[in-house]
Chains A and B, each alone.
Chain A
Amino acid sequence: MPEIQSYTLNFGPQHPAAHGVLRLVLEMEGEVVQRADPHVGLLHRATEKLAETKPYLHSVGYMDRLDYVSMMCNEHGYVLAIEKLLEVEPPIRAQYIRVMFDEITRLLNHLLWIGAHGLDIGAMTVFLYAFREREELMDCYEAVSGARMHAKYYRPGGVHRDLPDRMPKYEVSRWRSKREVQKLNAAREGSMLDFIDAFCERFPASIDEFETLLTDNRIWKQRTVDIAVVPPERAIELGFTGPMLRGSGVEWDLRKKQPYEVYDRMDFDIPVGTNGDCYDRYLVRVEEMRQSVRIIKQCVDWLRENPGPVMIDDRKIAPPAREEMKADMEALIHHFKFFTEGFSVPAGEAYAAVEAPKGEFGCYMISDGANKPYRVKIRAPGFAHLASFGEMVQGHMLADVVAVVGTQDLVFGEVDR
């Protein structure tokens, strides 16, 4: 028998389980990982530097592209920092809309996560189930902003426009018969809120479906239970946030502890794990989906009853109304100035954080009084999580590396920025 010696294995950056462009240099002894060194930055686009060279409003779209599966939550962190510096608060209806879309975004993120995580460690079906549901939520994004993913919907001072009165419908085509279209459009006859409401009614059953596929599945448990255990004290030290921290049993959620927008009016629970392994983090995320549905329902009910403005009535921060612009020369000039020069933000610094699906998404902004931020720092949850990757996989098998990549819910748009 030849003696087994340690060797170095290169994983990625082009690998389906690398969730984008993660390059891992693994020091292996047989099939056991001794040391893992993640190399990141392959998707580095200098978002922060770009934001520093553009007026505030121009960078909202860049935020979508950070964590490209939880788009609106990133926008939220960014606009909150601007609003903090400006010391303004959006109208209450805008706050409800933001909360609703934050939770829709959380569903979008967790659905992609459950699909990709399942696919990585051998559960093919759940991927297809999850993407079917995602489609409906993408339609909500499209209805409200015109874009399925990169919405640029949140603006400093509110949201771009109010919720639409009707949902876009499918049309008969070569690929869709009349009967199919009727079935697809059944939930789309009313307003957008009706559509979301119907979705909330239906969706918990879908979560049950995912759970029947995974929760008691023997293979799933073999792949996740006792893998990458992180004790709570260590999770805090390492800067874990979001489901990674709650999976270790720390009850910490910014939506409850430091509520922003109208989260203090919402009734929901924070799920926590006990063992801090991949399985607990899976359970936490699944329960978060159920809680998100609860929050969305409460928002839908409130939004039905309470019409109102969705943008702050301050012409320094919000553009003039479209109708006004067509008739009034000053409004037209102002509109032009507003979108070219932008608005100046008082000198100072602010840190605003939101509970994004992956953890604490923070935005630290320094302004020197100009129309562009002096410094923007994006605090991405995935960056802190990936930093402790080596520690989490040490002593595990090569196949578990993929499970850890999945459980950290990594997206390289935000890790590399």
Chain B
Amino acid sequence: MSERVQRLSAALAERLGSAIADSRIALGEVTIEVHADDLLNVCTALRDEEPFRFDQLTDLCGVDYLYYGIDEWRRGENTGSGYSRGVTDTSSTGRLTFGDENPQPELDHPRFAAVIHLLSLPHNQRLRIRCYGPDDEAPVLPTLTGIWPGANWFEREAFDLFGILFDGHPDLRRILTDYGFVGHPFRKDFPLIGHVEVRFDPERNRVVYEPVTIEPRVTVPRVIREDNRYTRPAEEGDSNA
């Protein structure tokens, strides 16, 4: 398995060269990073050319890296007070609060990305492409519907849930959220409980939308623990450029 993965990675580097911003092999999977400008050319080559022949797009999804690597419970400061489930006590040290008060972390790459999983039936191999949306305010990527028609709904979903725009998409409508929904619910700064709630109003005899009344709460805080067993040797984590 690993040999084939190495071979694929080498072939990608040889054919695509500078179009690949980053390439890595981890857990037996090849991931390449491609700039939005190169995406269409790279994908066309991956579909049509011989050592690749990725004839199926398995999946396309949006990712929001806003809070990547941020935990809600600091191990260092909080060891004295213990691991709190923190349902009521949101003011104790180290705990993050909700909504706008979250810290805005510094990212060394754009906030939004589309992650594409490809499958090659003739060669029985998979590939992951990550493509960052260049602009955090309005991330725009080229559409892949011209290359794999199956991308249609996956792109609609990424638009609906993350607000990633796909330039040239034939029918970029919302797909999973309600008619008339406002916002992009899978963004990390969108609260889990949402902004509005729905009920039937017997007086007006119709369904009404109102601001949410329930309290946001986190039953289990996020905590990041470094585990020595899982610090992988460097050459396995990111080989190949």
Contact = CB atoms under 8 A, between A and B. Distances in A.
26 contacts: A40-B175, A41-B174, A41-B176, A44-B177, A48-B186, A236-B55, A252-B121, A258-B124, A316-B227, A316-B229, A340-B83, A340-B85, A341-B220, A342-B220, A344-B223, A344-B225, A347-B69, A349-B29, A349-B31, A350-B29, A351-B128, A370-B222, A377-B59, A386-B153, A387-B153, A388-B149
Contacts of B63: 366, 375
Chain B contact surface mostly? loop
A364 B61 CA distance: 9
A347 B61 CA distance: 19
A281 interface: no
Contacts of B58: 239, 353, 360, 362, 379
Contact of B59 (A238, A362, A375): A362
Interface stretch (A49-57, A164-172, A284-292, A394-402): A49-57
A250 B220 contact: no
A257 interface: yes
Contacts of A55: 220
Contacts of A379: 58-59, 117
A308 interface: no
A335 to B, nearest CB: 14
Of all A-B residue pairs in the complex, the 6 with the closest CB atoms, nearest first, are: A239-B150, A346-B230, A387-B153, A41-B176, A377-B61, A379-B59
Given A41-B175, A370-B223, A85 B27 contact: yes
Nearest to B232: A346
Interface string B208-232: 0000000000101011111101111
A239 B148 contact: yes
Given A316-B227, A368-B68, A369-B224, A53 B149 contact: no
A131 interface: no
A49 B150 contact: no
Nearest to B119: A360
A370 B224 contact: yes
A49 B194 CA distance: 11
Contacts of B85: 340
Given A340-B83, A368-B224, A372-B220, 7 more contacts: A236-B121, A237-B150, A258-B124, A362-B117, A364-B115, A375-B63, A383-B154
A46 B185 contact: yes
Interface of A: 40-41, 44, 46, 48-50, 53-55, 58, 84-87, 236-239, 250, 252, 257-258, 316, 337, 340-342, 344, 346-351, 353, 360, 362, 364, 366, 368-372, 374-375, 377, 379, 383-384, 386-388, 416-417
Interface in B44-89: 55-59, 61, 63-64, 68-69, 71, 83, 85
Contacts of B64: 375
Nearest to B28: A84
A252 B122 CA distance: 10
B229 to A, nearest CB: 8
Contacts of A364: 59, 61, 115, 117
A44 B124 contact: no
A53 B224 contact: no
Interface in B100-152: 115, 117, 121, 124, 126, 128, 148-150, 152
Nearest to A50: B192
A372 B186 CA distance: 15
Contacts of B235: none
A50 B220 CA distance: 12
A254 to B, nearest CB: 10
Interface in B162-178: 174-178
B26 A369 contact: no
